[in-house]
Amino acid sequence: MKTKILTAIMATAMLCGCGDSMRNNPLINQGDTPYGTPEFSKIKMEHYMPAFDYALAEARAEMDAIIYNEEEPTFENTIVAMERSGALLDRVSTIFFVLNSNETSDEMQALALEVQPKLIAYSNDINLNPTLWERVKKVYEQRESLNLNEEDARLLEDTYKGFVRNGANLAEEQKEEYRKISEELSSLSLQFEQNVLAATNAFSLNITDESQVAELPAFVRDAMASEAKARGEEGWTVTLQYASMFPFMTYSSNRELKEKVWMASNSRCVGDEYNNLDIVKRITELRLQNARLFGYNNFAEYVLEERMAENTTTVNNFLEELRGATIRYAKKDYQTVSRFARRNGADYELMPWDWSYWNEKYKVATFDYNEEDVKPYFELENVKKGIFELAERLYGIRFVENSEIEVYHPDVKAYDVLEENGDFLGVLYMDFFPRATKRGGAWMTAFREMYTEDGKEVRPFISLCGNFTKPTETSPSLLTFDEFETFLHEFGHCLHGLFAKGTYKSLTGTNVYRDFVELPSQVLENWAIRPEFLDIVAVHYQTGEKMPAELRNKIIDSKKYLAAYMNIRQVSFGMIDMAYHTITEPIEDVMAFEKKAAAPAQVLPVVDGTHMGCSFTHIFSGGYAAGYYGYKWAEVLDADAFELFKEMGIFSRECGNRFREEVLSKGGIRHPMELYVAFRGHKPETQALIDEILR
Residues with catalytic annotation?
490
Amino acid at 672: P
Spatial distance between the Cα atoms of 65 and 87, rounded to a whole number of angstroms? 15
User: b vs e for 499-524, b when ≥16 Cβ sit within 10 Å of the residue's Cβ?
Assistant: bbbbbbbbbbbbbbbbbbbbbbbbbb
DSSP code of 273?
Answer: T
Contact 281, 590 (CB under 8 A): yes
β-pairing, 461-465 vs 424-431, is parallel
Burial degree of 140 (CB within 10 A; 0-12, 13-18, 19+): buried
Distances (CA, A) of 494 to 204, 287, 499, 517: 32, 31, 9, 11
Residues facing residue 634 across a β-bridge? none
Distances (CA, A) of 468 to 87, 246, 434, 479, 570: 34, 11, 7, 7, 21
Task: Provide the 3-class DSSP secondary structure of residue 407.
Answer: coil
Phi, psi angle pair for 408, to nearest 5°: -95, -5
Q: Provide the angle, in degrees to the nearest 10, between the axes of the packed helices 352-367 and 549-561.
A: 140
What DSSP element (H or E) covers 461?
strand 461-465
Contacts of 331 (CB under 8 A, 6+ apart): 603
Contacts of 335 (CB under 8 A, 6+ apart): none
DSSP code of 412?
Answer: -
